[in-house]
């Protein structure tokens, strides 16, 4: 992927599952939602795997172990081994292991996923700031994490112990709505101590490095639903990305995306892995055409003419919006054009 500013979604004459050797898949909003498989996910992933594409599941959630995640996916009908799962807990454990001695104690504020990942790297999880830890690590610990765990982290960090965080996602989706994520918990310690943690998870490079080390991918494709973690992580790793519209990103957010949040490809769901991607071509007067749609920039809004697949119209709108925005975010009103497409 070029580091030049992306001004349109790219086309592909090959199926993406053939053009890339490994899919680095986000989970929530891509593969499942609320614990259940998203429509078309199971059969699309099976077809991609049967065609020779390796599937790896990459999550910022540090609570669950790779074994637990793999069991859940297998229950959904997606056969998965623990080696196919990469978590931010693993990424932060490697980061810590590179900075403290083998066998060092690490104060854990989080769940079992962190403890397993630390032991894998030869580190010893401890529970108290009085256990002489060489580092403090925070990861999502679930809604029952006691408040006292934050106090232990603060005591150690205030003494100068290096502080690490698996990720800083402020929120996580739940069956009842949006809940505080690990980033909110990190803010508690930051406010109390004035310190800053080293962070491993998406969209930062330690997570991408962990993923490549564990999968051996040579031509990976990041597949996600979030612009600020999945797509930005691909940008930071200088690899291509596929945004699927089964999660949190809507059409307006996509049109307004700054360069680091612009995906290589856009598709409705994981069926996008199984086919090529249409070309978005210049149509004169600053417009762009994809399929049966032509998008142009009006005085203060995006215009759309034609008919055809809604996704083609969205791709054409992206090209106009991203070109107009350059290295910023688009300020043209795309609401009417998006409504016409059903987005």
Question: Where in the sequence numbering do the catalytic residues fall?
Answer: 26, 28
Contacts with 206 (C-beta within 8 Å, 6 or more apart), sequence order = 91, 92, 94, 95, 199, 200
What is the CA 69 to chain-centroid distance, rounded? 16
The Cα–Cα gap between 153 and 202 comes to 22
- Give the Cβ contact number of residue 300 at 10 Å: 8
Contact call for residues 215 and 22 (beta carbons, < 8 A): yes
Contact call for residues 164 and 136 (beta carbons, < 8 A): yes
Name the helix (H) or strand (E) containing 266.
strand 265-267
Contact call for residues 56 and 86 (beta carbons, < 8 A): yes
Q: Which residue has the tokens 């975010």?
A: 329
* 3-state DSSP helix/strand/coil % of the chain, to nearest 5: 40, 25, 40
- Give the Cβ contact number of residue 233 at 10 Å: 27
Name the helix (H) or strand (E) containing 119.
helix 112-120
Contact call for residues 232 and 261 (beta carbons, < 8 A): yes
Contact call for residues 316 and 295 (beta carbons, < 8 A): yes
């Amino acid at each position: 992927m070029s580091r030049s500013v992306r001004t349109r979604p790219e086309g592909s004459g090959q199926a993406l599952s053939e053009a890339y050797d490994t899919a680095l898949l986000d989970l929530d909003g891509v593969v499942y939602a609320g614990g259940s498989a998203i429509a078309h996910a199971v059969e699309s992933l099976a077809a991609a795997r049967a065609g020779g594409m390796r599937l790896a599941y990459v999550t910022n959630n540090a609570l669950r172990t790779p074994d637990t995640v793999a069991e859940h996916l297998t229950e959904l009908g997606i056969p998965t081994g623990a080696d196919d799962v990469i978590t931010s807990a693993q990424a932060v454990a490697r980061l810590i292991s590179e900075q403290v001695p083998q066998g060092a104690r690490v104060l854990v504020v989080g769940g079992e996923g962190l403890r397993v990942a630390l032991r894998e790297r030869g580190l010893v999880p401890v529970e108290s700031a009085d256990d002489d830890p060489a580092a403090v690590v925070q990861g999502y610990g679930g809604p029952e994490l006691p408040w006292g765990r934050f106090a232990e982290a603060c005591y150690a960090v205030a003494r100068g112990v290096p502080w690490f965080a698996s990720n800083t996602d402020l929120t996580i989706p739940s069956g009842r709505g949006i809940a505080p994520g690990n980033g909110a918990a990190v803010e508690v310690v930051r406010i109390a101590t004035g310190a800053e943690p080293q962070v491993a998870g998406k969209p930062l490079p330690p997570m991408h490095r962990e993923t490549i080390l564990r999968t051996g991918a040579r031509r990976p494709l990041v597949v996600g639903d979030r612009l600020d973690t999945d797509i930005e992580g691909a940008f930071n790793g200088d690899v291509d990305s596929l945004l699927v519209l089964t999660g949190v990103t809507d059409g307006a957010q996509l049109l307004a995306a700054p360069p680091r949040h612009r995906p290589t490809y856009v598709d409705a769901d994981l069926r996008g892995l199984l086919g090529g991607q249409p070309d978005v071509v210049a149509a004169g007067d600053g417009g762009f055409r994809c399929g049966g749609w032509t998008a142009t920039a009006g005085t203060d809004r995006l215009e759309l003419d034609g008919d055809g697949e809604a996704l083609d119209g969205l791709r054409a709108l992206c090209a106009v919006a991203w070109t107009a925005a350059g290295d910023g975010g688009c300020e043209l009103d795309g609401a009417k054009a998006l409504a016409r497409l059903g987005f």
